[in-house]
Amino acid sequence: MNIGNSTQQRIAAQVNAFKVAAIQMASGPNVAGNISEARRLIANAVEKGARLVVLPEFFAIMGMTELDKLKVAEPAGSGPIQQFLSDTAKQHKIWLVGGSIPLVASTPDKVMNSCLVFDEHGVQVARYDKIHLFNLELGNENYNEAKTIEAGNQVVVVDSPFGRIGLAICYDLRFPELFRAMKNIDIIVLPSAFTETTGKMHWEVLVRARAVENLAYVIAPAQGGYHVNGRETHGNSMIVDPWGRVLDRLPRGSGVVMGEINPSYQASLRSSLPALAHRTLHSC
């Protein structure tokens, strides 16, 4: 059910502060091994009180080549990766954002890079397919996601017990118009696998900017470290509050980043600085 914006905001303002977690990994080509590591880290986050847990981009597979993810792509609604996400959310009675996983695309030689959200009953309540595909040609680093990934075309926001959650993935971070199009979001989740080259200069400033300009909490879990395939990802998974404060971060390696979301604090900020209400260029 889609609750009206004003009603949803009142509900969010009445929710007590709650803990959230961003999971950082350095995934490899073995799906079963990555799932085992994700299971351990999620359990750790739950032990620390997290009610909303977010995994990084492609948490289940960082292959030796870009083609490896095609071999493990799952049809929507079935497969071991999706079953793991559903079972884990239900087991721990949490909302679980499954980072992103490869789902079967309409093009045979491509996948969808999809972020799936499961509620505390293990029911999938949302799916977002990554819209912006990363392309970098810089020295020895060359990436072109469009070769193996089919772009999505729908902005996705999900109503939850924690407020309105906007879904985005990695390279989407560079396009502020995406987040403006979400409208009235309380939380942004941003599963990522930023390269070290771009991440060391741009990751934190962009994550904090998205939080400040939307007066929203940002939960930004990332891949972080050296991968078997030789790739280096930036890490620095973080949770940022609507004022741009970094509540917690993890520079490198596998682990859990924790933060507390306080809807009353967020509401007071939006009342004190009503920048969202002052927008005039709504078509931009």
Q: Which structure tokens are listed for 110?
A: 């491509």
Catalytic residue selected from 74, 110, 115, 130: 130
Catalytic residue selected from 37, 74, 145, 170: 170
Tracing tokens 């350095």 back to the chain, one arrives at 26
Over residues 266-279, mean pLDDT: 94
**6-15, 139-148, 187-196, 273-282: least confident range:** 6-15
In this predicted structure, the answer to whether residue 21 has a pLDDT above a threshold of 60 is: yes
Which residue, 247, 233, 242, is CA-closest to 267? 242
What is the per-residue burial (b if ≥16 Cβ within 10 Å, else e) of 240-268? bbbeeebbbbbebebbbbbbebbbeebbe
In this predicted structure, the answer to whether residue 5 has a pLDDT above a threshold of 90 is: no
Catalytic residue selected from 57, 74, 145, 150: 57
The structural domains of the chain, ordered by start, are 17-272 (3.60.110.10)
Cβ neighbours of residue 58 under 8 Å, at least 6 residues apart?
Answer: 27, 69, 99, 100, 101, 102, 113, 193, 223
In this predicted structure, the answer to whether residue 8 has a pLDDT above a threshold of 80 is: no
Q: pLDDT at position 281, please?
A: 82
pLDDT > 90 fraction of the chain, expressed in percent and rounded = 89
In this predicted structure, the answer to whether residue 66 has a pLDDT above a threshold of 70 is: yes
Fill in the DSSP letter of residue 277. Answer: G
Model confidence at 283, in pLDDT bands (50, 70, 90)? low
Q: pLDDT at position 139, please?
A: 82
Q: What is the pTM of this model?
A: 0.93
Interval 188-224: pLDDT, tens: 999 999 999 999 999 999 999 999 999 999 999 999 9
Tracing tokens 């292959």 back to the chain, one arrives at 63
Q: Is 57 a residue of the active site?
A: yes
What is the per-residue burial (b if ≥16 Cβ within 10 Å, else e) of 212-224? bebbbbbbbbbbb
Q: Is 284 a residue of the active site?
A: no
CA 15 to chain centre: 22
Name the residue type at position 67: L
Distance (Å, whole) CA 42 – CA 127: 20
If you compute the radius of gyration of the chain from its CA atoms, what whole number of angstroms results? Answer: 18
Interval 228-256: pLDDT, tens: 999 999 999 999 999 999 999 999 999 99
Which residue, 125, 130, 121, 140, is CA-closest to 167? 130
Instruction: Give the DSSP letter string of 127-155.
Output: EEE--SPPEEEETTEEEEGGGTEE-----
Q: Which structure tokens are listed for 39?
A: 């299971």
**11-25, 62-76, 101-115, 154-168: least confident range:** 11-25
Distance (Å, whole) CA 262 – CA 269: 11
Model confidence at 14, in pLDDT bands (50, 70, 90)? very low
